[in-house]
Structure 1
Amino acid sequence: MFQYKIPVSLYIHMPWCVQKCPYCDFNSHTVKQTPDYDNYINHLIKDLQNDSIFCLDRSIHSIFIGGGTPSLFSAEHIDHLLSSINNIISIEKNAEITIEANPNSVDAERFNGYQQAGINRISLGVQSFQANKLLSLGRIHNPQEAIDAAVIAHNLNLRSFNLDLMHGLPNQGLNDALYDLKQAITINPPHLSWYQLTIEPNTLFGSKPPVLPDDDKLWDIYQQGHQLLTNNGYQQYETSAYAKSNYQCQHNLNYWRFGDYLGIGCGAHGKLTQPDGKIIRTVKTRHPKGYLDGRYLDNSFIVTSNELAFEFFMNRFRLFEPCPKLEFEERTFLPLQTINKQIDQAMEKNYITEDLHNWQITEHGKLFLNSLLEIFL
């Protein structure tokens, strides 16, 4: 049966931050008084117990602890959480287990504690190595704290670590953007997430937009930044993800390959394939108060067959690797014939190519990804 071939990952959301960044539209809540972290961990465990039936005897392929600021939680909290998860659903022996961290909320002792708890990958929200750019982004760390945290992560000899960097920042020029990349390359992380700042509604930047680089400057930043990363051994394997050989983020790859994932914690989303082939999406209660009252599930719905092709390719064509045709059938339960017209149209526009077994997005398709995806709506 197809569903047993689909890996299942686990996303865990930690909702608190010391300060809300003006560009952030994630479900995060400013810490006004110290939250009851112990209680929240206990509710995460109960939430997972409720959802464990969706695993259908599968083990957890990867775990990502995101936020918010997960590094506000102690190593003891993370150890208790991961141990409890493994008692509910077995975690694969070589599973990638990531925690996000802010540079100013970590030190060597805390990182060591996370590693002892089972964390083998850390993702640092650096964003920039320049003080004025960090200030404009509302970040509460400084460049030296970012460097120090990255060096600690590097010296731990983890399975991997990632630096999050942004470009297209307020009043950012080409040299500023390349400076950040050069500083990151000096630290030599196995993985870099390098993505453009976008203005989202319901954020401070959404109501008071800053002055951002124009399209020509953004294109120069992307082209020269991409070349710099490529020249230093980083391969772009997804729209905004670069990695050294064999260091791609396995958790995100499972998302983009339309794998399954459980989502626990405030506002977490899940995608789960059922034995009858139906795909259920779950959304958890966003606000900590409701979640801590035990009201975990906010909404669940079945993805309709009309939506499946779009959802599959919305994820799959973010990746630059070939897309197996068999994977489409196995993960949507749809026959290839249902998308023949759309595939033909995408090829006519030179967005994709195909051979007997795979589709491949073209360089033209990468530039016009939204137009490519609209074909499948």
Structure 2
Amino acid sequence: MGASIPTLGIYVHFPWCVHKCPYCDFNSHPLKDGLQEQPYTQALLADIDGSRELLASRNITSVFFGGGTPSLFSPQSFRQVLSALGVTNCGPQPEITIEANPGTREYHGFEGYRSVGINRLSLGAQSFSDKALKRLGRIHCADETLRAFADARVAGFDNINLDIIYGLPEQTPAETLDDLGKAIELGPEHISWYELTLEPKTEFHRRPPVLPAEDSMLEMESAGRALLQAAGYVRYEVSAWAKPDHQSAHNLNYWLFGDYAGFGAGAHGKISDSAGVRRTARASQPRLYMNDPAHQVVTELDASRLRFEFLLNALRLPDGVPFVDLSKATGLDTAVLEPEWSQGVARGLLRKDRIATTALGFVYLDGVLQSFL
């Protein structure tokens, strides 16, 4: 394979959850008729088989099992999927992540996932306050998170991410720091610390809870950032904090506008080749996907969309990327950034030497991105 051929990340979606949380806008479906593990796994294998030429031509650098709740599925299903992808439990392995919820850890032990080659765990803690977890509609309690984390360590996971949300309904800055402090005490290699947003088509959007005032939110973000930095975590993306050498390879690939293939109900992909850059999307309803796993919607990205999507990802990185990366990833000349880029530089929001925001621009990132629409 030539050095110019992009590497490939793999995203595999598992669409079922025990319960749909009121803030969740992901493609997740409550378990109603039981987990259809075998037919869904067979659909995934057929889907992957349809992309065998792509998979054979690229070096896979990461695999991410997301959801939904992937940990509802047995280790054997993941073994089959990894084998179909050509990722075996022998020799050097890419980063292989599974998302798990503390409330479903009893379904299958972490040892089983580790034994099939999964080497990174992302645990959906969200909060260490039982009151806050109940408001979020979570099915687990704080003690279950502590036990799940300990069990994962015993199982051999030495690369663990904790998801923590701040700006929760009626949350105070002190409660935010308490949550974050308890997460740090556990010593995960990675913390995804992100603000609660009321996404369209969610229960929280239809019936908004009482959220903290803007000044409280700013206090939470500032104090939390200082706490993470003092604990040795480095912010490498808007919501991502990692210990040295533990950045998520899979997520970095997204933000650097790398290629990735998506398999499973509602999974998205982005593939580039000599013909251009295109997005792919599978059917979001599990039943439709299982009936026709090969069906996908393919969208070619024009220059305007390419420009925006590249910036949407690259500017989430505090250090951004060199200007030359725009051309490498999209084939576009940096002239397509004008006049908006020079205007952003003049306003003190964008840097002149690379595709990156200033510290001020990072705070107002949403507004910066809007200027390129």
- Shared topology, TM-score over 0.5? yes
Write the distance in 1 (CA, Å) between the matches of 2:218 and 2:306: 32
Provide the secondary structure at the position in 2 that maps to 1:44: helix
Structure 1 unaligned spans of 5+? none
1:5-20 maps to which residues of 2 (within 5 A)? 5-20=5-20
Structure 2 unaligned spans of 5+? none
Cα distance, 1:34 vs. partner? 1.8
Cα distance, 1:2 vs. partner? 9.6
Cα distance, 1:362 vs. partner? 1.0
- Corresponding residue of 1:213: 212
- Corresponding residue of 2:367: 371
Moved more, 150-159 or 180-189: 150-159
- Corresponding residue of 1:191: 190
Please provide the CA RMSD for this pair: 2.1
TM-score (norm 1): 0.94
- Corresponding residue of 1:22: 22
Against the structure 1 CA distance between its residues 255 and 176, is the aligned structure 2 distance closer, same or farther, given a 3 Å change threshold? Answer: same
1:234-293 CA deviation, whole Å, 9 max, x = no partner? 1111111111111111100000000011011000111000222x1110110011111111
- Corresponding residue of 2:243: 244
- Contact between 2:102 and 2:144, CA under 8 Å: does it hold in 1? yes
Write the distance in 1 (CA, Å) between the matches of 2:91 and 2:331: 26
Write the distance in 2 (CA, Å) between the matches of 1:81 and 1:5: 24
Moved more, 114-123 or 328-337: 328-337
Amino acid at match of 1:330: K
Cα distance, 1:45 vs. partner? 1.3
1:63-212 maps to which residues of 2 (within 5 A)? 63-86=63-86, 93-107=92-106, 110-212=109-211
Amino acid at match of 2:16: W
Runs of 4+ in 1 over 6 A off after TM superposition: 89-92
Write the distance in 1 (CA, Å) between the matches of 2:283 and 2:130: 36
Amino acid at match of 2:172: G
1:93-124 CA deviation, whole Å, 9 max, x = no partner? 33100000010211597211101101000000
- Corresponding residue of 2:281: 283
Cα distance, 1:368 vs. partner? 1.4
Against the structure 1 CA distance between its residues 193 and 175, is the aligned structure 2 distance closer, same or farther, given a 3 Å change threshold? Answer: same
Tell me if 1:307 matches 2:272.
no
Against the structure 1 CA distance between its residues 82 and 124, is the aligned structure 2 distance closer, same or farther, given a 3 Å change threshold? Answer: same
Against the structure 1 CA distance between its residues 203 and 156, is the aligned structure 2 distance closer, same or farther, given a 3 Å change threshold? Answer: same
Write the distance in 1 (CA, Å) between the matches of 2:160 and 2:255: 19
Amino acid at match of 2:349: Y
Against the structure 1 CA distance between its residues 236 and 142, is the aligned structure 2 distance closer, same or farther, given a 3 Å change threshold? Answer: same
1:8-58 CA deviation, whole Å, 9 max, x = no partner? 101000000001001111111111122220111111111112233345711
- Contact between 2:121 and 2:160, CA under 8 Å: does it hold in 1? yes
Cα distance, 1:318 vs. partner? 0.3
Against the structure 1 CA distance between its residues 92 and 284, is the aligned structure 2 distance closer, same or farther, given a 3 Å change threshold? Answer: farther
Provide the secondary structure at the position in 2 that maps to 1:359: coil
TM-score (norm 2): 0.95
Against the structure 1 CA distance between its residues 361 and 14, is the aligned structure 2 distance closer, same or farther, given a 3 Å change threshold? Answer: same
Cα distance, 1:3 vs. partner? 8.9
Cα distance, 1:131 vs. partner? 0.7
- Contact between 1:23 and 1:199, CA under 8 Å: does it hold in 2? yes
Amino acid at match of 1:162: N
> How many pairs were matched up?
373
Moved more, 206-215 or 109-118: 109-118
- Corresponding residue of 1:327: 325
Tell me if 1:317 matches 2:320.
no
Amino acid at match of 1:268: A
- Contact between 2:46 and 2:294, CA under 8 Å: does it hold in 1? no
Moved more, 107-116 or 365-374: 107-116
